[in-house]
Homo-oligomer: A and B are copies of this chain.
Amino acid sequence: MDPMAMTCKALLENLDEVLGFIESCADRFGLKENRKFGLLIAVEEAFVNVCHYAYGDKEGEAELVCSGDGGSFVVEIADRGIEFNVLSLPDPDTTTNIMERKIGGLGVFFIRKMTDDLSYQRKDGRNILRMVLHAHDDSATS
């Protein structure tokens, strides 16, 4: 599949369009339904984080590129906000009971868990997060 790209303001209100775009690309690629939902969650978490954190109080853009790479479906999300490497965060504590439990760090954790392969690059002032899903469910969420 040739690359397709979408660019929009990094605002929560654009989430539907972003997920709609990713979903139609994933359908084209032929990603299986259950793998697709996992990917959509990863993309949501990444996009929402760019909306919340990348640009502080300012406005900025997010760019999404979908492509097929052999047997893999690839989504890249890029922003021009502060440098942040998703891979640098520790896993959250997922064992505390209801009252003590805080939700923090689950977003990034889901991004890591829902993808088969994840890489981060800071390049020309941009954060580029590359999420890869293999068409065949071999190494998923393990």
Q: A interface vs B, CB < 8 Å? A: 2-9, 11, 14, 16-17, 20-21, 24-25, 28
Known: A16-B24, A24-B16, A24-B17. A8 touches B11 (CB 8 A): no
Check A28 against B17 for contact (C-beta < 8 Å).
yes
A128 shortest CB reach to chain B, Å: 16
Number of copies: 2
Docked Cα-Cα span, A20 to B25, in Å, equals 11
Write 5 A-B pairs (CB below 8 A) sorted by A numbering.
A5-B6, A5-B8, A6-B21, A17-B28, A20-B20
Known: A17-B24, A21-B21. A4 touches B5 (CB 8 A): no
A59 shortest CB reach to chain B, Å: 9
Docked Cα-Cα span, A3 to B14, in Å, equals 11
Check B11 against A20 for contact (C-beta < 8 Å).
no
A68 shortest CB reach to chain B, Å: 12
Partner of A4, one of B17, B24, B28: B17
For A7, list chain B residues within 8 Å (CB). 4-7
Docked Cα-Cα span, A56 to B100, in Å, equals 64
A10 shortest CB reach to chain B, Å: 10
Check B14 against A24 for contact (C-beta < 8 Å).
no
